[in-house]
Amino acid sequence: MRPASAGPLAPARLPRPLALPDFPWDSLHPYRARAAEHPDGVVDLAVGTPVDPTPGIAQAALAQAADAPGYPTAVGTSRLRGAFIRWMARRRAVPGLTSEEVLPTIGSKESVALLPLQLGAGPGDLVLHPRTAYPTYDVGARIAGAVPVPVDTDADPESWDVDNQARVSMVWLNSPGNPDGHVLGVEQMARVVAWARARGAVVASDECYAELAWEEPWASSAVPSLLDPQVAGPQGRSGLLVLYSLSKQSNLAGYRAAFLAGDPVLVSAVTEVRKHAGLLVPAPVQAAAAAVLDDEVHVEAQKALYRARRETLLEATDAVGLVNDPQSVAGLYLWLSGPPSMSAYDMVGAFAELGIVVAPGDFYGQAGVGRVRMSLTGTDERVAAATARLRTSQAADLFRS
């Protein structure tokens, strides 16, 4: 019990602000409300959340593993690790991974947000990320107390505006990119790796859209991985980490099934943190993930659905004068620009008048100003509805410069 003579209690020191940006999706509320007034219902193409059924093989594996009274291990089952290793060799041209070089994670967004912290980045460290980027790269640096710095990962890293004396701890790549759909070739990634290694920085590549390439040369050959031997060079996987998710290729977003792979020293460091924090992928989810990794039929079927939706939406947006970024050749989105007179939010408003919700490019950094992101994750019926609305005279008037 406090003595009666004691002074006033000191104010609580926590929580301390983390200097996080405003959550961008909150700004879409009025546009969503307007779109919802459309008599034929809203078509929400703002968020890349899968809408097609989870593959039956995943559901069956999940059910069969549902009797799971004990705690799963942080490193995952040998069955799961083996399935991912085989998949990386088969689909990503990354041979020879070992069990010590792979780790299951609870979705890949978790790693995007927490990897700098898990690796020990902190105040004074710079975390570089693509200048047109998913906001969580920025947020992850801030959570760790580091400084996020946008750079043009499509360009020669020697052109980046980063002081040679700066303490760069991490460089994020995202290929295929969200939102822009850009793909980094082997030569460009190798340049980034060499630049980062000269500064003692880790390179982490978010590759969750790698199976969704639409144009050549990537449509008929694998989108390059950071762990490709042609990229990694003689030093192998030293200082390199790759993230991959089953959310997009296998409609497992609700399962939260993803992986981290690469340098065993870095993987071990992340594993230790995850053990202490209890970040464990549920055992039934691990079983489902292993099942889908060994099956490619469902992936090809899902890719065909997205390809058809992409072509339909490209034709419809082109008809009203919107232009997809010519380098947007992969991924789950169109990256559209409109008349010079229209800002991104002007275009979001025009789409909302048609009952369609899209995301302003401003969400993805200064380089996204003047563009909107349109997701391919609508059902065939909703994509058809959006297409019909974009082919009306109302749409032509809304997007007229």
Q: Which domains does the chain have, with CATH numbers?
A: 24-53+298-398 (3.90.1150.10), 69-294 (3.40.640.10)
Instruction: Name the one residue in this structure whose structure tokens are 């549920």.
Output: 282
DSSP code per residue over 113-130 = HHHHHHTT--TT-EEEEE
Q: What single-letter DSSP state applies at residue 367?
A: G
Nearest of 384, 358, 324 to residue 47 by alpha carbon:
358
Strand pairing report for 258-262 and 102-105: antiparallel
> Is-contact 178 363, C-beta < 8 A?
no
Check the CA dihedral 92-130-145-158 and report its sign. positive
User: 59: Cβ–Cβ under 8 A, 6 or more apart, which residues?
Assistant: 288
Q: Show the tokens assigned to 102.
A: 């792979």
Q: Count other C-beta atoms under 10 Å from residue 60's C-beta.
A: 13
Q: Show the tokens assigned to 336.
A: 């559209």
Q: 185 phi and psi, to 5 degrees?
A: -80, 170
The pLDDT tens digits along the chain (401 residues) read 556 566 677 777 888 777 777 777 788 899 999 999 999 999 999 988 999 999 999 999 999 999 999 999 999 999 999 999 999 999 999 999 999 999 999 999 999 999 999 999 999 999 999 999 999 999 999 999 999 999 999 999 999 999 989 999 999 999 999 999 999 999 999 999 999 999 999 999 999 999 999 999 999 888 999 999 999 999 999 999 999 999 999 999 999 999 999 999 999 999 999 999 999 999 999 999 999 999 999 999 999 999 999 999 999 999 999 999 999 999 999 999 999 999 999 999 999 999 999 999 999 999 999 999 999 999 999 999 999 999 999 999 999 86
Q: pTM of the entire structure? A: 0.93
Nearest of 231, 168, 235 to residue 196 by alpha carbon:
168
Q: What is the spatial distance between Cα 358 and Cα 372, in angstroms, rounded to a whole number?
A: 7
Cis? peptide before 15, omega within 30° of 0: yes
User: 12: Cβ–Cβ under 8 A, 6 or more apart, which residues?
Assistant: none
Q: How far is CA 351 from the centre of its chain?
A: 24
> Is-contact 260 242, C-beta < 8 A?
yes
Q: What single-letter DSSP state applies at residue 300?
A: H
Q: Find the distance separating the first CA and the last CA of the chain, reported in whole Å.
A: 72
Q: Show the tokens assigned to 346.
A: 């002007």
Nearest of 145, 73, 69 to residue 104 by alpha carbon:
73
> Is-contact 182 152, C-beta < 8 A?
no
